[in-house]
Amino acid sequence: MKLFTTTAVTVVLSLILIDFVSTQLYQKSINWDNRAQGQYTDAMAKADFGSVSGWKNDRASISDGKLRITLRKNALGGESGIISNTRIPDGSAYELDFDVRFHSQFDWSRGGKVGFGFGIGNRNTGCNPPKDGAGGTLRLMWYNDNKRVYFIPYVYYYGMPGQCGDKFGKSYPSTGSIEKGKLYRVHMYVKSNTGNNANGHVQIKINGEVLIDQSIRWTTNDSKRLINNLSFHTFRGGSEDHWKSNVDSMIYYDNLSVRQISK
């Protein structure tokens, strides 16, 4: 005696598949090993990332299986490098890892934004603090204080003390300088908070050493609490002229991995 009809079995299997797909969490890994030497175009970036905005074909190329970004001389912000964003599925926790290396002839100037990061809700940047509690961002900078050069966190969140990204008084390394030509492995973790609670989290580790690791109140508007953006911001600045350089300089990226931890 048949217990199930073919139609019934098909329906059950379809429901199982739908449930399986709905519970999958976003993951993306890119290492550029299979990309040919030369220009890395907007079309290539979209093929690799799935979606991307703000790409600059004349500043991105592939060199020995790595993504190379050229920072243009005498320019700041988007005119000097790339300010690109990729929409990712809404999630309450994400982490990422990537490698970064400054060219052996890199000019530090004053500093700038470097590498990948996350956006929450309205994704505030540009010295626009989220006073409405509806957005935040986690990014990384390099900074030259004329004594040493180091990485700093650059974070926008509700209640931040100034107009521009909060650095929390943190630096990597804690003494001495980062080095040209050296590979740095960056790990970031971000978790949303709920309501007006400081039960979110922010973490950055570089070569396994903690740069920042603490609780945080990203937002107060629960409709804007979720992480929704993967940023790739690589440019000089700051806004004043002393952030500029009079030479072109290059930064290399590799082994990007992005993982959604929870919806």
Q: What is the mean pLDDT of residues 216-240?
A: 97
Quote the pLDDT of residue 37: 97
Residue 19 above 80 pLDDT? Answer: no
Domains of the chain, by residue range, sit at 25-262
Mean pLDDT computed over every residue of the chain: 93
Spatial separation of the C-alpha atoms in residues 152 and 147, rounded to whole Å:
15
List, in sequence order, every beta strand (DSSP E) within the chain.
27-30, 38-39, 60-63, 66-71, 82-91, 93-102, 111-113, 116-121, 135-144, 149-156, 183-191, 200-206, 209-216, 227-236, 249-262
For residue 96, the tally of other CB atoms under 10 A from its CB is: 20
Which residues, at least 6 apart from 233, have a Cβ–Cβ distance to it below 8 Å? 81, 82, 83, 84, 113, 114, 115, 117, 139
Q: What is the mean pLDDT of residues 104-117?
A: 98
How does residue 23 score in pLDDT terms, banded at 50, 70 and 90?
low
Convert the pLDDT of each residue in 128-158 to its tens digit: 999 999 999 999 999 999 999 999 999 999 9
Percent of the chain with pLDDT over 70: 91
Residue 16 above 80 pLDDT? Answer: no
Quote the pLDDT of residue 161: 97
Percent of the chain with pLDDT over 90: 91
How does residue 5 score in pLDDT terms, banded at 50, 70 and 90?
low
Residue 112 above 60 pLDDT? Answer: yes
Convert the pLDDT of each residue in 30-69 to its tens digit: 999 999 999 999 999 999 999 899 999 999 999 999 999 9
Question: Please, are residues 216 and 76 in contact by the beta-carbon 8 Å criterion?
Answer: no
Question: What's the topology of domain 25-262?
Answer: Jelly Rolls (2.60.120)
Residue 6 above 70 pLDDT? Answer: no
Quote the pLDDT of residue 15: 41
Quote the pLDDT of residue 102: 98
